[in-house]
Structure formats: C-alpha cells, structure tokens
Amino acid sequence: MRAGKVRLGAGGAEPDPARACDREGFAERAGVRLAWRVYGEEQRPTVLLMPTWSIVPSRFWKLQVPYLARHLRVVTFDGRGSGRSGRPEGAAAYQHEEYAADAVAVLDATGTDVATLVSLSCGAAWSVHVAAGHPDRVNGLVALAPSCGFPSTHAARRFKPWHLRLDSTAGWGKYNKYHWLEGGYQDFLEFFFGQMFSEPHSTKQIEDCVGWGLQVSPWTLVDTTAGRLGLEGATCTPLDDLCALVRCPVLVLHGTEDRISPAAQGERLAELTNGTLVRLEGGGHGPQGRDPVLVNRLIKDFVDGLFPAVPHSLRVRAAVRPKRVLYLS
C-alpha cells in the first residue's frame, strides 16, 4: 500500500429508507468482494442496475429502485472501488473487462439467469462488454448518458491531460490526478458534480454525490480512472467492434446539454448497436436524479416491450352471470 494512502474498506450496510431490500449479500471474484442487493418479487423480469465510476456507490439509483421494484425484480451492486465493495489497488484492477466480469458474478450470486442491464455514463461500456461476451445473460440494454470513449468533441468541456501535472487547476484542470492527490479532491468533486447536474435547482443531487465521493479516497479514484483510460499498466478496449456483437434491443437516453459526455456519444452508441435514441431536451449528465419519473417510465416501458403480454379474453355465459336489475320504477 502506498505511503499515506487511505483505503476505505467495506463497512456496514448503508441505510436505504426509500425501499428496504429483500435480500443482500456479497459475491466474490478475483479476491474482490462485491456487495449486492435484490428488490422485488423473484418471478418478475430482472433489471440489473449497473455501477458507474467509483466516485459514487449504487445509492445513486435511489430514485429508481422503489418504482422499478413495484413492477420488476431489481438487482443493484456497488462496483469495485465504491460503497461496501472491495477496493483493489492498481489501475489494471479497474479495466472494463473487470467490471463486466463482476456483473456476471453478481448475476450468478443472485440466481439471475438473464437480465436487462441499465447503466449510467461509463457503466454503458461495461454493459456492452457483458452483452457482447454473454449474450445469453442479457435481454436488453438501457444506457443513460453513456460515456464510451468514442472519439468526439464537446465545446463545454476542454479536455486536459489527466495524468500530467498542470500549470492551472481552473475549470476542467481540476480533473487531474495530481490535483486530487495534493489537496484538491473536494474541490474537484464540487466542480465535477456541478457540471454533471447543470440543471437549475440541483443542489440536493450535487450534495448527495459530493458526500458519496468523499467516501472514496483520492488514491482509489486515481486507480479507477487510470483503469478506465487505459493508463498506468491498464488497457482500454475500444467498443466499436464489441458493439457489433450486441444482439439484444438497446435504448439510449442522452441529455442535449450534457457537459460531461457529449450527446454525440449516445448517438454513436445507438448507431453501432442499432438501438433507439431518446434525446432529453435540456438534460445534463444525471437524468436518473433530475428526471427520475421520465427515466423510470422509459425503463419500465422498455422492459415491458421485451415481455409482451399474451392476449386473452374471458366471456361469461348468460346462465352463470349474477342477476341484475335492468329497470326499476
């Protein structure tokens, strides 16, 4: 362990006042414990709410779980590096393939044969890996504000080298390894989540995410970021070819004012997977927190479309109908 590094371990269960889970436990893969929870009736179709960047735990789905669990079986898990799950060291432990393999391990641990994967931001890349590598386990993908590394530009975000020391930490200069490790971690969190929730009246969403981000050490976030970017000994597999292997239906939701991942990312993912794109006019990078009713209904409608109801009707013969008064004077 590096000198001065603080690694937060998998502590006790975080309270979930909105909806208590029906089952919870841990899967273990490659020495990493993965904390999962199951909500809803076992016989219903399952949605797996995927983790995203380890800057937040699975609690970021808190506005989806109560509604979806009334209609579907819902599985969540804290991704490696976040929440109650383990925090392995080194960038290679946080490559796309590792998160995808974790998702399959959680499906196994929760007794889930097949599920619809719902993701936010970089979680979309991990969903693509699972769908491409295990097509029999995935019946559909829903990607919110996907950040998949497709080449694109965004006028609102000026990319700077994350792994190099910068002269200035103004603006997106805060998205920098050295700024995080040398005292600027909370400064970055407040800036990043302000960009993520760019819509007016987003104070609660920003406060929630900053609080969750402070539960993760900057060293862990450095490892997870380097793993996602393919730096410091990690590799990053381009998604273009993998998208061609996705055979299940795909729904992409992307805000037109996303300051983190440009709308072109969502457009490209929908194009490569022959998916359906829904543009959220004026939306930012966190639609699950800012437009939960719309997002929840779109997810449910998508899953319902995967399991069309069998049409049937019932006609009661006159002889067995209860007697009714047709006219009373």
| 91-122 confidence digits (pLDDT tens) | 999 999 999 999 999 999 999 999 999 999 99
Enter the tokens of residue 84: 């109650």
Domain that holds residue 269: 23-157+235-320
| 7 in a structural domain | no
Degrees (nearest 5) of the Cα angle 54, 59, 64? 125
* 258 has pLDDT over 60: yes
Kindly give, in sequence order, each residue whose CB lies less than 8 Å from that of residue 265, ignoring residues fewer than 6 positions away. 146, 147, 148, 150, 152, 254
| 6 in a structural domain | no
Question: Average pLDDT of the chain?
Answer: 90
Tokens 């819509």 -> residue = 199
Is residue 21 classed as helix, strand or coil in its secondary structure?
coil
Q: 55-105 pLDDT, tens per residue?
A: 999 999 999 999 999 999 999 999 999 999 999 999 999 999 999 999 999
Number of H helices, E strands in the chain: 11, 8
Q: 159-192 pLDDT, tens per residue?
A: 678 899 999 999 999 999 999 999 999 999 999 9
Enter the tokens of residue 38: 């199951």
Choose between 159 and 249: higher pLDDT.
249
CB 87 within 8 A of CB 110: no
Whole-number percent of the chain with pLDDT over 70 = 86
| 183 in a structural domain | no
| 265 in a structural domain | yes
CB 196 within 8 A of CB 289: no
Closest by CA to 35, choosing from 62, 66, 70, 75, is: 75
pTM: 0.88
**What's the Cα-to-Cα distance from 19 to each of 68, 74, 79, 209, 237, rounded to whole Å?**
11, 11, 20, 19, 37
| 328 in a structural domain | no
Q: 216-248 pLDDT, tens per residue?
A: 999 999 999 999 999 999 999 889 999 999 999
DSSP structural state of residue 31: T
| 227 in a structural domain | no
| 126 in a structural domain | yes
What is the reported pLDDT for 159?
67
Enter the tokens of residue 115: 């599920």
What is the reported pLDDT for 12?
40
Indicate which CATH number applies to the domain containing 132. 3.40.50.1820
* 8 has pLDDT over 70: no
Compute the distance between CA of residue 70 and CA of residue 40 in angstroms, rounded to an integer.
7
Q: How many domains does the chain have?
A: 1
Compute the distance between CA of residue 301 and CA of residue 53 in angstroms, rounded to an integer.
26
**What's the Cα-to-Cα distance from 4 to each of 21, 215, 260, 293, rounded to whole Å?**
36, 16, 31, 43
| 188 in a structural domain | no
**What's the Cα-to-Cα distance from 112 to each of 22, 79, 141, 304, rounded to whole Å?**
15, 18, 16, 18
Convert 176-211 to b/e letters by CB count within 10 Å (16 or more is b): bbebbbeebbeebbbbbbebbbbbeebeebbebbbe
